[in-house]
Structure formats: C-alpha cells, structure tokens
Amino acid sequence: MHYILASASPRRQELLTKIVENFEVVVSDFDEDSINFNGDVEEYVKTLAKGKAQNVASKANKDSIIIAADTIVVIDGKILGKPQNENDAYNMLKLLSNKVHRVYSGIAVINTANDVMKNETIFTEVKFSELTHEEIVNYINSKEPLDKAGAYGIQGLGALFVEKINGCYYNVVGLPLNLLNKIMKEII
C-alpha cells in the first residue's frame, strides 16, 4: 500500500517511521481558518485533521492510506496555537508556567482504496514547573518555541519545563503513535 503523510512537520515525519517505513509527504493546503472553534476542543481538532486528510486524499492519484493530524495546546478553555512572534511566545509560556494544560490531537486516516476513514482524538495532560522570566527569555532566544503549538517542544529544550505528563508522550510531540497504530490496523 502507498502511504501519504499530510504534514510538513519534521517531528511527525520522524515519528511515522516507527509505524510505516516508506511514505510520501504531501502537505495539505486545507484552510484551517475556515473551521470555527465552537468550544468543543475534541470536535475542533478532529475536524481540522479530517479536513487535511480529505484535502490530500482528493489529490491522490493511486490507492493510498492518507494520514493527517492536528495538535493544539489548551489551557483554561483557551487554545494556544503557534505563536505569532516572540512576545506571543513569552505570553503563552508565562500562561503555562506552574499549571496543568492539555495537548489535544486529532487524527484522520483515509484508505482511498475502499473510501474508509477513521477520525479520532486524544489528549495528554502536561504540568509545567514555575518558569522564571530568564528561563522564558532564554528559551525564546533558542528559537525553538516559535513554530510549535503552545510555544514549546517537549522533545527539545522545552522538556526542561515539563514536571510531569499524564497520557501519551508522542501526542505532545505531535503524533500519538499508539492511537495511530490502532487506527492503521483497523483501516487497512
């Protein structure tokens, strides 16, 4: 079977190699801004992942398994996407300091050979330690937080801020491997 990952994320690409040896990367051009957040986080990330998967599936020129994901950070009912700039990253990290937040991922997998789709969500709770102004500034100066939801990467320097997690580590990285593996078994 031909596999397509609908993501430009190097982290997702690296993680997917643990399940699928060979796959093509086709970046979705699904308009994420077309989806309004109605307060239901799980439905929101599922819808975003589904939109990405369907967008790439519509371009597939042979039978394929399309894999798409969307990951967001949520604290106090507020979604933290990728920071717009360094000041936005600072504010996000300050908000996460000494608190528990949730990282949600929506996964959508489409088998274009039989037109079957599975679309699920998962969340992981993450507890940050208390961050000082200097720690936040130094982290932002590393540039690591600028392209990540919630302004941190648990697999990088952001790991220093994580006191504990409850749930799937790989979900926080951006691709919940256990859930994806389960879905893949069901859809093929």
What's the distance, CA 4 to chain centroid? 17
Q: Which is nearest to 65 in space by CA: 131, 119, 117?
A: 117
Q: Which amino acid is at 86?
A: E
**d(Cα 106, Cα 171) in Å, to the nearest integer?**
10
Which stretches of 28-140 are assigned E, i.e. beta strand?
64-75, 78-80, 100-111, 116-128
**d(Cα 150, Cα 137) in Å, to the nearest integer?**
15
Catalytic residues: 70
